[in-house]
């Protein structure tokens, strides 16, 4: 790792803005962030597939910056492709980087969410997603294939990706309040790096009494773990409160 600053490469949809604000807010000083963008405006199967086809160009561009870790920052793009896709894509990115002589660590938002849920540990999970219902169902199926039981979930039915980045916190919390959390081990408040939720995490944990994570907090956890750095961030929920989660809620 770079001695003074850890370089984080982000592969993001072109219309995404939230992940590039929430991750720096989470990780703070000591990190620099470098993005390469894949064209995508509408969260639909066709546009997600076309976006994924741009991956190799983005990785090639980021490799020139010699990042310490690269995060493929679009959760639904991988989960929509079917179970296990995050492992396949992370492997392909690592292979591409190694061919160019890079030793960058590789993570994805999809894999980070799975990693964070195992770290809690959670088996029964509730979700809030911004997606249209058919895509939200693919996220549910993906997580079930990873061994989780999805006890309840909500799809906010927002297809325009710019609009996803503008979903108000009140709407996210209203969706969470409509969930049956009586048997949940954890709540994923935002299963999307574009849907803002970071200011809500701590308040949601206090209100709902279960561990609350988001695609952003899971991504931060995965980046820190990949770089062998302390897994502790204030104000980001119990996943990152003490480096490892001991249920106390």
Taking residues 124-152, what's their average pLDDT? 98
How far out from the chain centre does Cα 24 lie? Answer: 14
201: Cα separation from own chain's centroid = 14
Choice among 6, 51, 74, 78 that is catalytic: 74
Least confident of 97-106, 121-130, 137-146, 239-248: 239-248
> Is residue 244 over pLDDT 60?
no
First to last CA, the chain: 35
The answer to the question of whether 16 is labelled as a binding residue is yes
Residue 35 has pLDDT above 60, yes or no: yes
Residues in the chain: 249
**Pairwise CA distance, residues 247 & 158, whole Å:** 33
Task: Find out whether 13 and 37 touch, Cβ atoms under 8 Å.
Answer: yes
Q: Is 194 annotated as a binding residue?
A: yes
pLDDT number for residue 101: 87
Complete domains list, the chain, with CATH: 6-110+217-240 (3.40.50.12500), 112-214 (3.40.50.12500)
Q: Which of 140, 192, 218, 220 is catalytic?
A: 192
Mean pLDDT score, 175-185: 97
Please check the confidence at residue 51 and state whether its pLDDT lies above 60: yes
In this structure, what token pair is assigned to residue 46? 């066709």
Q: What is the pTM of this model?
A: 0.93
131 annotated as belonging to a binding site for a ligand:
yes
Q: Do the beta carbons of residue 153 and residue 180 sit within 8 Å?
A: no
Say whether 209 sits in a helix, a strand or coil: coil
Q: Is 221 assigned to a binding site?
A: no
58 is a catalytic site residue: no
Give dist(CA 143, CA 141) in Å, integer: 6
139, 131 Cβ separation under 8 angstroms: yes
Number of H helices and E strands in the chain, helices first, is: 11, 8
CA–CA separation, 129 vs 170, rounded Å? 14
Q: Taking residues 167-177, what's their average pLDDT?
A: 98
Mind listing the pLDDT tens digit for each residue in 67-102? Answer: 999 999 999 999 999 999 999 999 999 999 999 888
């Amino acid at each position: 790792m770079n001695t003074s600053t850890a370089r984080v490469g982000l592969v993001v949809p072109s219309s995404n803005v939230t992940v590039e604000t929430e991750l720096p807010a989470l990780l703070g000083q000591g990190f620099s962030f470098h993005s390469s963008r894949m064209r995508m405006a509408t969260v639909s199967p066709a546009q997600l597939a076309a976006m994924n086809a741009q991956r190799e160009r983005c990785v090639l561009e980021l490799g020139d910056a010699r990042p310490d870790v690269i995060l493929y920052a679009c959760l639904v793009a991988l989960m929509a492709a079917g179970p296990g896709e995050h492992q396949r894509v992370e492997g392909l990115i690592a292979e591409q980087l190694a061919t160019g002589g890079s030793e960058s660590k590789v993570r994805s938002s999809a894999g980070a969410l799975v990693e964070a849920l195992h770290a809690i540990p959670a088996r029964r999970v509730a979700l809030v997603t911004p997606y249209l219902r058919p895509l939200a169902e693919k996220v549910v199926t993906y997580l079930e294939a990873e061994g989780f039981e999805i006890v309840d979930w909500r799809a906010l039915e927002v297809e325009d990706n710019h609009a996803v980045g503008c979903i108000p916190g009140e709407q996210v919390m209203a969706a969470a309040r409509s969930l049956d959390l009586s048997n949940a081990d954890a709540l994923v408040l935002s299963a999307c790096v574009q849907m803002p939720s970071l200011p809500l995490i701590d308040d949601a944990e206090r209100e709902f009494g279960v561990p609350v994570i988001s695609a952003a907090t899971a991504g931060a956890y995965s980046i820190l773990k990949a770089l062998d750095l302390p897994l502790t961030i204030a104000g980001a929920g119990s996943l990152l409160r003490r480096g490892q989660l001991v249920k106390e809620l």
